[in-house]
Each structure stands twice: as C-alpha cells, then as structure tokens.
Amino acid sequence: MIELRPFAGIGHANHGWLDARHHFSFADYHDPARMHWGNLRVWNDDTIAAKSGFPAHPHRDMEIITYVRTGAITHRDSLGNQGRTAAGDVQVMSAGTGITHAEYNLEDEATTLFQIWIMPTRRGESPGWGARQFPRGDRSGQLVVLASGYAEDGDALPIRTEARLVAGTIRAGETIDYALGADRKGYLVPATGHIRIGTVEARARDGLAIAGEETISITALEDSEVVLVDTL
C-alpha cells in the first residue's frame, strides 16, 4: 500500500516568522485520520525567517530529529548543549525524562527544515542531544542511514526507538531499492525533485505513506533528494 499525501493538502499555519506545514495532526491542525504513522508522530515542513526562532520550551518522551534543507538552525538546551546544524546535516534530541530547548535561525536568510518526531520504544532515560554532518555528496545514488535505534547502524545518530531516518539523492532516470519489510511502515518525502514508487508519483514535499511492502523501488523522474522514516 502506497498512499500519496499531496503537499497542497497537508496542514498549514503561517505565523509570520514561521511558515509551517504539517503532514500529521499538530498544534491547531487536527485530522483524526492522520494522527501518526506507526511510531512516527510528527513530520513538520518548516520555513523559519531570518533572525527568528522557537524560544525555550519543554519536551519529554519523544525522539525529535531535525533535517535541515537550507540555511541552518542553532540549538541550545537545559543540559548546556549548543550547536549549529547546517543544510544537509541532522540533529537529534532525545527528550527522555524531560528537556527544555530553544532553536533559532541566526542566519541572514530563511532556514527550511523537516522536524520529525518519533515515539520512543525506550522510556525513562536521561535526555540527550547530538548532531552530525552528512554531506549530500556521500548520499548520491544511495540511501544512507542518518539516525537509527539499531546498533548495527553504527555511523548513524542514535535514537531510542525501533526506527531509522534515511536519505539520499537520486539522479533523473536512476532507481534505488530500499528493503523496508512488509511488517514495517515507511513515510517518504522528496525534499526536492519528482519521484515514482510503483505507479505512484510524488513531487517535492508531498508525502508517501507506505505499508505492507517488502521492498520499495524509488525512481527519480528528475534529480531528487528523498527523506524516509522506516518504523514499526
């Protein structure tokens, strides 16, 4: 099963400094048919204006992944962590028993990012934060695991849930396969470009909800960058 969720039909809230699109119910956007997809709870497509951002606010019991598409985001939290995550790179915050953080776009241009929340399968642990560079060039023609709850994905940022975040760039005309597993769920968003999986096509920022597929074959109809959550 592959269901297209067009970008034009997902939730939208424009706060001026923040132009947010919601693939799943979030804040004032509520769709009882789109509360989560397996353990994936939130996929927000955010544009944050220059010199603005989210003031300090708390989280707990959630794995929060930020995939920066353009620009950069600067993180500060109650543990004393601070870091700037630039385009193509990823940060992970494991909220655990509780953490307060702020995220600001300190750049001179708008920052665009995907913020992805996955419900943890390990709870009651201390909070944590980490970030890593993932050069887009290293992902050409393949899907690379960027964050994972599985020990065998040793180079990925750790998360406390049985899920993976993977991403890759695909040239027009190329096809790459991903072994999802028929007992798992996938949610795939092209950050850029135009792709096809089976008979279903998706353009930039559309969502594809996938279930019951042992393997998915992703064909790029134009140069594309794809981001996928693989979860229970």
Q: For 148-172, what is each residue's pLDDT tens digit?
A: 999 999 889 999 999 999 999 999 9
Average pLDDT of the chain?
Answer: 97
DSSP letter, residue 85? E
pLDDT at 137: 86
> Domains of the chain by range and CATH?
2-231 (2.60.120.10)
**Per the structure block, which two tokens stand in for 49?**
């204006």
What mean pLDDT comes out for the span 11-37?
A: 97
Instruction: Could you list the beta-strand ranges (E) of 23-132.
Output: 40-48, 52-59, 63-70, 72-77, 82-86, 90-94, 99-105, 111-118, 128-132
Q: Tell me the pLDDT tens digit for each residue of 189-222.
A: 999 999 999 999 999 999 999 999 999 999 999 9
Residue position matching structure tokens 């099963």: 1
Nearest Cα neighbor of 40 from 176, 172, 211, 191 is: 211
For residue 96, pLDDT over 90 is answered with yes
Model pLDDT, residue 154:
87
The confidence score (pLDDT) of residue 135 equals 87
Q: What pTM did the predictor assign?
A: 0.97
Give tens-digit pLDDT for 112-131: 999 999 999 999 999 999 99
Q: How many CB atoms lie within 10 A of CB 137?
A: 8
pLDDT for residue 136: 87
Rg (the chain; Cα; Å): 17
- What confidence tier does 57 reach under pLDDT thresholds 50, 70, 90? very high
> Which residue bears the tokens 């594809």?
208
Longest dimension (CA), the chain: 48
Rounded average pLDDT over 63-82: 98
Contact 128, 94 (CB under 8 A): yes
Residue with tokens 């809230």: 13
